[in-house]
Amino acid sequence: MSTPSSSPIRLVLASSSPYRRELLAKLGIPFESASPDIDETAMAGETPTQLSKRLAEEKAHALRNHFPAHLIIGSDQVAILDGAQLGKPGDTAKAVAQLLAASGKAVEFFTSVCVVNSKTGLTVSDTDKTVVHFRTLSRRKIERYVDIERPFDCAGGFKSESLGIALIESLETADPNALIGLPLIRLVGLLEKCGLEILGEKESLTQRRNDAT
């Protein structure tokens, strides 16, 4: 009599971001996504790393009751220019203002990722720091870019994965995925700590990608 195999590990992405969903899909593993409801207000004295890490962990833990036997992935990004946090601009005027302020300067992006085993409570997290050095940009070029791409839902007011790359002089990063919103290199390591090896499954990557679609 054969014994039943153990249940496959199920993943949940604690985010409504289409950018993070697209990034996680690169790993070829089926996952669900759900939006956590948390207060993202910074606490007094928090560093950017502390803030992004805390929010990533809170996002993942916020879904534990809804997904009681899963690995839940939370992520958060904090952008800093001249010591001040940059939020999502939300409209044209604020996007243009953010990019004018960043022109010729460096913006630091702290992107944290957390994995929570909702059954055991095991929590592991890590943070990527990416520095974006912007070109010296004229208002005309900035307004043209914002008019084309409308990056209102992106911290810093640009999308590095598309036309926003034309705004950048150089990057200091260990993982370009982190700038888009999810540090995949660090995530792979965290998933392994939780018992999920991305290239350790028996089935082919092609089959897993088919299952994920």
Three-class secondary structure of residue 157 per DSSP: coil
The CA R_g of the chain, rounded to the nearest whole Å, is 19
Q: Quick one: pLDDT at residue 40? A: 87
Residues counted in the chain: 213
H or E element at residue 207: helix 205-212
* Catalytic residue IDs: 76
**CATH fold for the domain made of 11-205:** Maf protein (3.90.950)
Within the chain, what is the greatest distance between any pair of CA atoms?
73
Q: Quick one: pLDDT at residue 7? A: 59
Q: Quick one: pLDDT at residue 208? A: 47
Return the domain boundaries, the chain: 11-205
Residue 183 near residue 128, CB atoms below 8 Å: yes
| Neighbouring residues of 70: CB distance < 8 A, sequence distance ≥ 6 | 9, 10, 11, 12, 32, 117, 118, 119
Residue among 96, 161, 162, 93 nearest 130 (CA): 161
Residue 58 to residue 181: CA distance in whole angstroms: 16
pLDDT in single tens digits along all 213 residues of the chain? 333 345 578 999 999 999 999 999 999 999 999 999 898 888 999 999 999 999 999 999 999 999 999 999 999 999 999 999 999 999 999 999 999 999 999 999 999 999 999 999 999 999 999 999 999 999 999 999 999 999 999 989 999 999 999 999 999 999 999 999 999 999 999 999 999 999 875 443 444 444 544
Residue 42 near residue 20, CB atoms below 8 Å: no
The CB density around residue 128, as the number of other CB atoms within 10 Å, is 26
DSSP state of 148: H
Residue 35 to residue 66: CA distance in whole angstroms: 11
Q: Quick one: pLDDT at residue 201? A: 56
Residue 122 to residue 35: CA distance in whole angstroms: 21
| Residues in a beta bridge with 14 | 34
Phi, psi for residue 50 in degrees, rounded to 5: -60, -40
Q: Quick one: pLDDT at residue 205? A: 41
